[in-house]
A and B are shown apart, each in its own frame.
Chain A
């Protein structure tokens, strides 16, 4: 059974550009969440999508957005990139949104460098 797949794995962007990251969840999983990981701030929740609806959002500016498609695949977009957006972006998938025993699995992450 394939795990959570994130693309691209590595990318370099210039300040002011925008970027789109993609995440394919584990087959059958309908919840996709995104996290940003930086050395200074650690792991921070960005947002969660379930059945194409945003269920929860972290404390990030509006430049960070996401969406989920009918096949549960998700994309996140960051517009007007800043140097501080350089981070590892992790996608997580789960069968349901919340609930006892509902395990959350992560992908390999997308390393974004903004220069």
Chain B
């Protein structure tokens, strides 16, 4: 069964510094997609970045980049130049297989940006 592990319950980062949030996954499928979402205290789940299992390049979206290491089954999120507004819960999620949109989520990492 597919599984997502986020080992960092909470992280602190200084404003303007970079931070890496860890995510490892377990799947026996060759085709899968990995997602990162940001959830502020308001509850909204904000899409950040997507990486497909067949994508050769690491995904990037503005200040967000995904460090995808397929052999190690890891998909770490890197946030560059942290801002106070980045303080939130961050979830890593995986969609397994070619069909369907069922996502399996990790437990999440709370990020706090310090000024």
Contact = CB atoms under 8 A, between A and B. Distances in A.
Contacts of A88: 43
Interface in A81-114: 88, 90, 92, 94, 97-109, 111
Contacts of A107: 44-45
Nearest to A37: B43
B23 to A, nearest CB: 14
Given A107-B44, A108-B44, A102 B33 contact: yes
Q: Is the interface of A mostly helix, strand, loop or mixed?
A: strand
Given A98-B95, A98-B97, A101-B52, A109 B45 contact: yes
Interface stretch (A16-24, A42-50, A66-74): A42-50
Interface residues of A, number: 28
B78 interface: no
> Which interface class (under 10, 10 to 19, 20 to 34, 35 or more) fits B?
20 to 34
Contact of B101 (A58, A104, A111): A104
A98 B100 contact: yes
A42 B44 contact: no
Interface of A: 31, 33, 35, 42-43, 45, 48, 55-56, 58, 88, 90, 92, 94, 97-109, 111
Interface of B: 31, 33, 35, 37, 42-47, 50, 52, 54, 91, 93, 95, 97-105, 107-108
Q: 4 shortest A-B CB distances, which residue pairs?
A: A106-B45, A98-B99, A43-B105, A108-B44
